[in-house]
Amino acid sequence: MLTLLAFAMVATFMTLIMSGRVSALVALILTPVVFGLLAGHGSDLGPMMLDGVKALAPTGVMLAFAILYFGLMTDAGLFDPLVAAIVRAVGGDPVRIVVGSAVLALVVSMDGDGSTTYLICCAAMLPLYRRMGLNPLILACLLMLACGVTNITPWGGPTARAASALQLDAADIFVPMIPSMLAGMAFILLVAWILGRSERKRLGALSSTGQLRAPDDEALVRDLVDDNDRTERPKLILVNLALTLGLLAALILGVLPLPVLFMIATAIALVVNYPSLAAQKARIAAHAPNILPVIALIFAAGIFTGILNGTGMTQAMAGSVTGLIPPVLGPYLAPITALLSMPFTFFISNDAFYFGILPILTEAAATYGISPVEMARASLTGQAVHLLSPLVPSTYLLVGLVRVELAQHQRFTLAWAVALSLVLLTAGILTGIIPLTG
C-alpha cells in the first residue's frame, strides 16, 4: 500500500507541474501533505516536514547569498570584460553564440558546483541571449547538460557518495570514466551546434529579408555593458576579481562551509563597492525578486523530501523496483543500474539512491561477477537527468536566472539529458569500464 501511495504521489506531483495546473511551489507543499495523510500520518507529518526544511536550510542560505554576491559583481561590472570578449569572439552568429555558451559552461562547471556555474555563465551569456533574441531555454539546457558531465568529478558529489556507500576509492571510479566524460562533452557541443542552427533559421525567418539582423560587434558590446553604468565600479574591477577568485578558491579547498563563505564574500562586496547604507539597501532590494522565489521553492522541496523520507516512501519505492528485477537479467545489472539511475535520481535524492539503492543492486551484481567499482561507474551516468529533478535546489536557481518555468525547462531539456546519459553509458561500455554483462 505504501509503495502504491509513493508512486501515486510522484506521478501526481509530476502531472501537476508538467501540465502547468499549479506552480511548483504549491505542488511541492500540498502533494506530499495529502499523500502523507492518506498514508495514515497526522501530527507526525510536522516533524518530518521540519526535518526536510532543516536539511535544505544551508543550501537555501548559500543560494540566497550566492545570487546576491554574483548580482553585485554584475552590477559592479566585473563580468563586462568577459562579455565583451565573448561577443567579439562569437559575433552576432547564433551558432557561435550557442556553441560558445556550451564551451564556457564546460570550463566553468569543472569546479563541480552547479550553482556557481549557473551564476557565472548566466551573468556572462544571458545579456547576449536577450539582446540577440535567442531562446533562453537553450542556455538553461546547455548549462545543465554541462553540469551533468562534470558532476561526475570526485568533488562534484555523486562520485563521493558512490565511493562512500560502496567503500571504494573515488579515484578508482572517476579516472577510468574520463574518456566517457570526453564523449559526453563532445555530444554537448554537437547539441549546441544543432540548437544554434535552429535558432539561426528561426531568427532569419523573423526578418523581412530572411537574413539575420545583427549589430556589429562593438555596438553589441556597448549595448550589453552599458546597461548598468550607474552601478558600475570600473576602478574596483581588480579588487572584485581578486575577491571572486579568492571565493572560488576557498570553495574548492573547503576552507569554510559554502553558506558561510558566500555570506562573508557578500558582506565584503557590499562594503567595498557600495559603502553607503542607502546604496547597500538599494542593491539588496534590486536582487530580492531573484532571491525570494528560489528560496521559497527550496524550502518547499524540503517539505516534499521530508515527507517522502519520513513516511518510508523512499525505501518502499526502492525495495519494489529492486525486487522486480528477475534473475535472468542479473548479468545485465550494470547497464540496468545505469538506466535506473535516471528515474531514481530524478524522483528521489542522490543520497537516497547512492546510500539506499546502489548497495542493494551492487550486492546482487556481485553474484554475477560484476565488481562494485563497475556498478559505481554505471550509477553515475544518469546525473544529467538527475539535475532536472524538482528536488535539486540549484535547478530553481537556474530557471530563476533565465526567467523560465521549471516545466518549460524540463520539457525542453529532458530528451537531451536522457540522450547524454545514454552517450555516457555507451562510451563506458565501449571502453570496457562498464560491463554489458557479468
Q: CB-based contacts of 396: which residues, under 8 Å, 6+ apart?
A: 24, 293, 294, 297, 298, 301, 406
Cβ proximity of 429 and 335 under 8 Å? yes
pLDDT at 379: 93
Give the H or E element holding residue 213. Answer: none
Inter-CA distances, 42 with 3, 10, 37, 38, 235, Å: 19, 20, 6, 9, 59
Residue 216: other Cβ atoms inside 10 A: 10
Residue 230: other Cβ atoms inside 10 A: 6
Cβ proximity of 144 and 187 under 8 Å? no
- 56/306 Cα distance (integer angstroms): 10
pLDDT at 255: 84
Most confident of 42-51, 126-135, 243-252, 296-305: 42-51
Among residues 116, 127, 115, 112, which one has the least CA distance to residue 79? 127
Q: CB-based contacts of 23: which residues, under 8 Å, 6+ apart?
A: 17
- Length of the chain, in residues: 438
Pick from 5-19, 205-219, 317-331, 416-430: least confident: 205-219
What is the pLDDT confidence band of residue 339, given thresholds at 50, 70 and 90?
Answer: very high
Cβ proximity of 422 and 415 under 8 Å? no
Cell 547597500, located at residue: 280
Q: What is the pLDDT of residues 213-239, one digit of tens each?
A: 555 555 555 555 555 556 777 788 899
Cβ proximity of 78 and 244 under 8 Å? yes
Higher pLDDT, 394 or 415: 415
pLDDT of 385 > 90? The answer is: yes
What is the pLDDT confidence band of residue 119, given thresholds at 50, 70 and 90?
Answer: confident
Cell 527550496, located at residue: 298
Among residues 128, 119, 123, which one has the least CA distance to residue 88? 128
Joined together, the cell numbers standing for residue 134 give: 535567442
pLDDT at 360: 78
Q: What is the pLDDT of residues 18-27, one digit of tens each?
A: 676 777 788 8
Cβ proximity of 149 and 406 under 8 Å? no
What is the pLDDT confidence band of residue 208, given thresholds at 50, 70 and 90?
Answer: very low
Residue 64: other Cβ atoms inside 10 A: 23
Q: CB-based contacts of 373: which residues, under 8 Å, 6+ apart?
A: 166, 168, 172, 173
What is the pLDDT confidence band of residue 427, given thresholds at 50, 70 and 90?
Answer: very high
pLDDT of 282 > 80? The answer is: yes
pLDDT of 195 > 90? The answer is: yes
pLDDT at 256: 85
Residue 219: other Cβ atoms inside 10 A: 12
Most confident of 53-62, 274-283, 322-331: 274-283
- 385/378 Cα distance (integer angstroms): 14
Pick from 5-14, 269-278, 337-346, 371-380: least confident: 5-14
Inter-CA distances, 139 with 62, 86, 125, 154, 312, Å: 23, 15, 8, 25, 37
Cell 563597492, located at residue: 273
Using a pLDDT cut of 90, give the percent of the chain over it.
26
pLDDT at 426: 95
Main-chain dihedrals φ then ψ at residue 146, nearest 5 degrees: -60, -45
CA geometry: angle at 396 spanning 392 and 400, to 5°?
165
- 30/303 Cα distance (integer angstroms): 9
Joined together, the cell numbers standing for residue 407 give: 516545466
pLDDT at 198: 92
Higher pLDDT, 427 or 392: 427
Cell 552590477, located at residue: 75
What pTM does this model have?
Answer: 0.73
Among residues 313, 341, 334, 352, which one has the least CA distance to residue 161? 352
Average pLDDT over residues 283-289: 86
Residue 43: other Cβ atoms inside 10 A: 6
Q: CB-based contacts of 163: which residues, under 8 Å, 6+ apart?
A: 154, 169, 170, 173, 376
Joined together, the cell numbers standing for residue 200 give: 539561426
What is the sign, positive or negative, of the torsion defined by CA atoms of 67, 71, 72, 77?
A: positive
Higher pLDDT, 228 or 187: 187
- 79/89 Cα distance (integer angstroms): 15
Q: Three-state SS for 78?
A: coil
- 352/185 Cα distance (integer angstroms): 27
Among residues 153, 157, 79, 114, which one has the least CA distance to residue 398? 114
Using a pLDDT cut of 70, give the percent of the chain over it.
90
- 66/56 Cα distance (integer angstroms): 15
pLDDT of 111 > 60? The answer is: yes
- 313/48 Cα distance (integer angstroms): 12
pLDDT at 52: 86
Most confident of 12-16, 43-47, 88-92: 43-47
Residue 273: other Cβ atoms inside 10 A: 23
Higher pLDDT, 208 or 263: 263
